Amino acid sequence: MTPPAGSPERKLGSLDVDAYLADPSRKQAFVTPMFDIIAPRYDAFTKLFSLGMDAGWKRRAIAAAIAVAPGARRVLDLASGTGDVAAQLARALPQATVEALDASPRMIDAARKRLESVDADVSARVTPMVGDMMALPQERANIDMVSASYGVRNVPDPAQCVREMARVLRPGGALVTLDFYRPGFAPWRALFLWYLGVAGNVVGWLWHRDPIVYGYIARSIRDFMTADEFSALLRREGFEVVSVRRYLFGGIAQHVARRVT
């Protein structure tokens, strides 16, 4: 079924995606509506695109962060999406409260719906909120752990996002990120981006009648950094990189870091 005139899908499909991604002042105007569109099928999409591996990657990322800050009492989950990581963090850290922040109102609606189906103790300690990763509402040095899954790549200014994460973390606080990165090995990079581009276009067309909805992912990776470059960015912004775990030959990576300055 073709999206009706005026719908988010039709509006998104009319945009010049490359122009929006190349202009930091306009990137968020593309990304937020895109995530509003995919929110109802986001969990199915991540499972499909990761060939079922996404859940395991997130579990390992959470465990690695807890190893750095096992006593965390205040946790901030950025790009929280449908709230799966936020709920897992609350379950794994029974002493902690979790603030689940996302730029997409429809994603936050999905997170609230998810929390209705989890244990009351878990849902009571998770607070979903709409917000900007580059201008966090949390106070300085007030958070024990920050997590961000597939988030930094989507912001207009990744360095500003990392600075904000450093600002809100207490000294010694833990940061864990999981994201797509541009693979360093050129032949694999070409194949990886080709697969994501083709698969994204097909799924976008089948689910939304708009290939751009998921075809965006390959374009965003093409213009993003490598996992090593992200490690260097973390160090420049006052983090000690504790560990880096790569998946899919560097196409996905988990970074665990500790705020030291």
pLDDT digit string, tens, across residues 183-215 = 999 999 999 999 999 998 899 888 888 887 888
Question: For position 3, what pLDDT does the model report?
Answer: 40
Q: 199 in a domain, yes or no?
A: yes
Residue 111 lies in a domain: yes
- Residue 199 domain boundaries: 8-259
Which tokens is 178 given?
A: 């999981």
- Whether residue 229 is contained in a domain is answered as yes
Find out whether 220 is annotated in a ligand binding site: no
Question: With a threshold of 0.85, does the pTM exceed it?
Answer: yes
| Residues above pLDDT 70, as percent of the chain | 94
The answer to whether the annotation marks 225 as part of a ligand binding site is: no
User: Any bridge partners for residue 177, and if so which?
Assistant: 148, 255
Q: Angle at which helices 24-38 and 105-115 pack, to 10 degrees? A: 40
> pLDDT for 110-147, tens place per residue?
999 999 999 999 999 999 999 999 999 999 999 999 99
Least confident among 46-55, 80-89, 249-258: 46-55
Q: Residue 211 belongs to a domain with what CATH number? A: 3.40.50.150
Whether 82 maps to a domain, the answer reads: yes
* SS3 letters across the chain: CCCCCCCHHHHHHCCCHHHHHHCHHHHHHHHHHHHHHHHHHHHHHHHHHCCCCHHHHHHHHHHHHHHHCCCCCEEEEECCCCCHHHHHHHHHCCCCEEEEEECCHHHHHHHHHHHCCCCHHHHHCEEEEECCCCCCCCCCCCEEEEEEECCHHHCCCHHHHHHHHHHHEEEEEEEEEEEECCCCCHHHHHHHHHHHHHHHHHHHHHHHCCCHHHHHHHHHHHCCCCHHHHHHHHHHCCEEEEEEEEEHHHCEEEEEEEECC
Distances from the Cα of 73 to the Cα of 1, 70, 131, 144, angstroms = 47, 9, 21, 6
- Domain tally for the chain? 1
Q: Is 133 annotated as a binding residue?
A: yes
Residue from 11, 40, 64 nearest 254 by CA: 64
Residue 20 lies in a domain: yes
Domain-located, residue 2 = no
156 within domain boundaries: yes
Task: Give Cβ neighbours of residue 211 (< 8 Å, ≥ 6 apart).
Answer: 200, 201, 202, 204, 205
In a domain, 69, yes or no: yes
The number of residues in the chain equals 261
